[in-house]
Structure 1
Amino acid sequence: MRISPRALRGRPPVVLLAVLAAVLTFPSIPAGARAGAGVPAALPGVPGPAGGGSVTSLPLTGGRLLTGRTARRFELLGVGWDGPARALAGGTVKVRTRDAVTGVWSGWHELETEGEDGPDAGADTAATPAAGAATTAAATASAGAGHPPRSATAPLWTGPSDGVAVEVTPGPAGPPPGLRVELVDPGEGVRSAGARTVPAEPSVTEPSAAEPSTAGPADGGRRTGHHQAPRPEIVTRAGWGADESIREPDFVYTGPVRAVFVHHTATATEYACSDAPRVIRAIYEYHVRSNGWRDIGYNFLVDRCGTVYEGRAGGTDLPVHGAHTLGFNTDSAGVAAIGTFVTDAPPADLLTGVARIAAWKLGLTDQDAAGSTRMVSGSDGSLYPAGTGADFRAVSGHRDAFNTECPGDSLYPKLPELRTEAARLQGR
């Protein structure tokens, strides 16, 4: 994920598609509000359990939305539309927000219009059942013609906010249909009976009682080799309060994980680690409800205190197919460092957490964390045309596969240290 922290530079005069200025205090959203009706609308979907988050969609239609209203505060936002991801290529999206506590408006920020995190073509539209598993009706329906593609900018973490302004300038293709600003409230987290953590263990040979094996790939994804690093403690989805009702019910698996791609979430860097689950819930809501993905894109996330969190559902020890590195989601795992590490230095504890989860995940397939592997691109949108082979380090940065600054100019140079430490943990 990338959100540029730089101040917006001036651009040549262009046709302004939409300007939205949200009013600060409003009545509740009418239950029947619809996009395009001149009032805000909640995104379609079944409401989650108590404590779950929400996404409120304010349509940018008719050239100008005079009074967007929301009954909810929000902590993350983005701009979405109907159609392919490149529909806004060459255009710009600028946003500013009002702090719900101080009432102060931020400066303008430019959102990334061509998302670099994401699934390869078709990978997140329907569940691929594991060996012996049946495809559910919900999974089959998700691939049907009644579900046109949705796309969105990279999201921006704003913190508690109650006002927003948006300026959208279309690219050469013109404005895409269904243009909207989407405001994410991460909620307080859904309480569930599931285990809140998977405990650290010196080795993994069988699935633990806290993490039962569901139907998975034929080899189970657990080829414990001679260089298996100890598993770090992992905060489960129940631990960070995931609303499981919003994701696809089935899981998609890939081949054995041979590479870990390191990302940063481009959210606040200075945060209390107790707030990390809130950030994860907001990203999850946006990936599913705004982008239309089956689940959060990352396989794991790590906060500034080094705590490792389970990302995409399906089993931390299984090769779950993610949506993190366009073109190279197959046979890989995505690990996101929570924060923005363009100029801010990544904390030592965060680096330790990334090294630990990379060492363990790669060790499950006996992949040398200090080694290299050859992978085949699944998308022309990556640095390599679809079908082209490319060599990657087993622990690589997002920018190695896609034209992006992610994981940031301060984190990326730390990757050699991460490889060395991960290999040490593997006993190499």
Structure 2
Amino acid sequence: MRGFLASSIGVTCAAVLALPSVPAAGAVPTAGRAAEPHVAGIPGSTQSLPLAPLTHDRSLGAATAQGLFRQDVRHFSMVGVIWDNPDTELHGRVQVRTRAAGTDAWSGWQDVETHNTEHAADPDTAERSSGRVRGATAPLWVGDSDGVEVRVRAADERRTEETGRGTRTLAATSPLPSGLRLELVDPGDEAPAQHAPVDASRTGTLDLETAESLSASAANVDLAPLGTTEIPALDERETEQELFALRAGELTEQQRAKPYIGPRPRIVTRRGWGANEKLRERGFVYTKKVKAAFVHHTASGNGYRCSQVPSVIRGIYRYHVRSMGWRDVGYNFLVDKCGTVYEGRAGGVAKPVLGAHTLGFNSNSMGIAVIGTFGSAKPPAAAVTAVARLTAWKLGLWGANPQGKTYLKSGGGNLYRKGKNVRLNVISGHRDGFSTECPGRQLYRKLGTARSTSARYQGR
């Protein structure tokens, strides 16, 4: 395989509260990291605002409700809440409302998905133990806004205990995590680059930002020219020829005689959705192979237009890196409701890039996130078909049957102890590897369709 700069190697898915007024927001430092002010010419920024206590239970020694009153802020389009310890869960409810930019129109209260800590790098990896990782809600896409209000309420927990006269119910309130902060993400409004592929003969004079962009693009150099904004779709014959070129020395005799692989789908590259490559850590980290695909939803809401997806992904990317402390966006691929596939974590779409999507099962797998929230909303057919097309191709590169089973070794989680070999569907939902609602009940119900369709694309 050719490899211009692509061999960079790393070592290593309520009642309204009366809230107190607080000063107008700027970019406020988070404990342990510097503030990120808006810089002219660099797209995007993150405002980080500490939440204020609203009520207090002395027996707990911690605030049981925190928030911020309505206030003016710089433009943002995505919102989330973070806290200090990534191993601490937030048991409670997070709600926000926002003001559409340039108007007096405030939204109603919107719930923010609190169970997001299971989307993470595996325990004992360099990414997880970097000291920069924080607990976080899922990010919520709210569109261009310049005002915000937030409230976080701890959950009431009830338990029973036996007494001499029978049983009694005791009520308690879970303490909120320490260091709660509101993150307001501006993904930047610059359109993705649409110029011709990069001239590799001129790379010697590039600055760091351009060099990092070139490095991310070069990881796909076996599939498309440097600087391309999309990797085009291939037909069945072209895909088989590409497979032989990429994996010639690794294919079995049976695979060479009859490769089961779906036609390569069109994939929008990181350059295509406008990734600022200076945000992520340098270099790439790989696992050994791709034996399984975990399907997720981003839980970021369904109120986006497909034309806004590059901005949505830039927001998720910035939130994962700047707010949550990951080395890059966690998912290997993202799929929108119109069925477009996007490159996620850098390192090459045909390569086994190690993600941070399914805590305990990131090794030898890939993570695909459908952009949206699918607990009660049904996923669009175009998105399910795109998942099938993508898995038929990517799993086919590694000889995996979409309708089959495989074994993955757990890195540790709340369903399987570390070191346990777990038998999983080759196409699994996030909840199969970790106790979570992800990818949402409605999307999870469609995984059987995705498996059978994916297998059909492979010619099985």
TM class, shorter-length:
0.7 to 0.9
Q: Is contact 1:340-1:408 (8 Å) kept? A: yes
1:411 corresponding residue in structure 2: 443
Residue 343 of structure 1: how far off its partner (Å):
2.4
Q: Is contact 2:85-2:135 (8 Å) kept? A: yes
TM-score norm. by structure 1 comes to 0.78
Which residue of 395, 399, 406 corresponds with 1:366? 399
Residue 408 of structure 1: how far off its partner (Å):
1.8
Residue type of the alignment partner of 1:387: G
Change (3 A) 1:354 1:162: same
Which sits farther off after the overlay, 333-342 or 43-52? 43-52
Q: Is contact 2:36-2:45 (8 Å) kept? A: no
Q: Going by fraction, where is helix more abundant, 1 or 2?
A: 2
Q: Is contact 2:97-2:106 (8 Å) kept? A: no
Distance (whole Å) between structure 2 residues aligned to residue 198 and residue 336 of structure 1: 19
1:155 corresponding residue in structure 2: 139
SS in 2 for 1:56: strand
1:348 corresponding residue in structure 2: 381
Instruction: Show the 5 A alignment for 1:14-413.
Output: 29=26, 34-35=29-30, 44=35, 50=41, 52-60=43-51, 71-86=73-88, 88-100=89-101, 101=103, 103-113=105-115, 115-123=117-125, 125=127, 143=130, 147-169=131-153, 174-189=175-190, 191-192=192-193, 194-201=227-234, 202-203=238-239, 225=255, 226-381=259-414, 383-413=415-445
Identity %: 47
Residue 97 of structure 1: how far off its partner (Å):
2.6
Structure 2 portions without partners, runs of 5+? 1-12, 55-65, 156-172, 199-226
Q: Is contact 1:48-1:243 (8 Å) kept? A: no
Q: Deviations over 1:100-141 (max 9, x none)?
A: 346123225254155221111243528xxxxxxxxxxxxxxx
Residue 222 of structure 1: how far off its partner (Å):
7.5
Residue type of the alignment partner of 2:393: W
SS in 1 for 2:446: helix
Residue 309 of structure 1: how far off its partner (Å):
0.4
Which sits farther off after the overlay, 306-315 or 190-199? 190-199
Residue type of the alignment partner of 1:156: L
Change (3 A) 1:49 1:298: farther
Q: Going by fraction, where is strand more abundant, 1 or 2?
A: 2
Residue 35 of structure 1: how far off its partner (Å):
4.9
Distance (whole Å) between structure 2 residues aligned to residue 173 and residue 346 of structure 1: 34
Distance (whole Å) between structure 2 residues aligned to residue 169 and residue 329 of structure 1: 32
Please report the RMSD computed on the Cα atoms of aligned residues, expressed in angstroms: 3.5
Distance (whole Å) between structure 2 residues aligned to residue 302 and residue 174 of structure 1: 36
Distance (whole Å) between structure 1 residues aligned to residue 457 and residue 90 of structure 2: 43
Change (3 A) 1:21 1:259: farther
Residue 405 of structure 1: how far off its partner (Å):
2.0
Residue type of the alignment partner of 1:125: E
Q: Is contact 2:68-2:151 (8 Å) kept? A: no
2:158 corresponding residue in structure 1: none
TM-score norm. by structure 2 comes to 0.73
SS in 1 for 2:239: coil
Residue 161 of structure 1: how far off its partner (Å):
2.2
Which sits farther off after the overlay, 317-326 or 147-156? 147-156
Q: Is contact 1:93-1:166 (8 Å) kept? A: yes
Residue type of the alignment partner of 1:260: A
SS in 2 for 1:160: strand
How many residues are aligned here? 379
Q: Is contact 1:222-1:365 (8 Å) kept? A: no
Structure 1 portions without partners, runs of 5+? 2-7, 127-141, 214-218
Which sits farther off after the overlay, 50-59 or 200-209? 200-209
Residue 72 of structure 1: how far off its partner (Å):
1.6
Distance (whole Å) between structure 1 residues aligned to residue 292 and residue 424 of structure 2: 8
Change (3 A) 1:58 1:77: same
Residue type of the alignment partner of 1:296: V
SS in 2 for 1:410: helix
Residue 185 of structure 1: how far off its partner (Å):
0.8
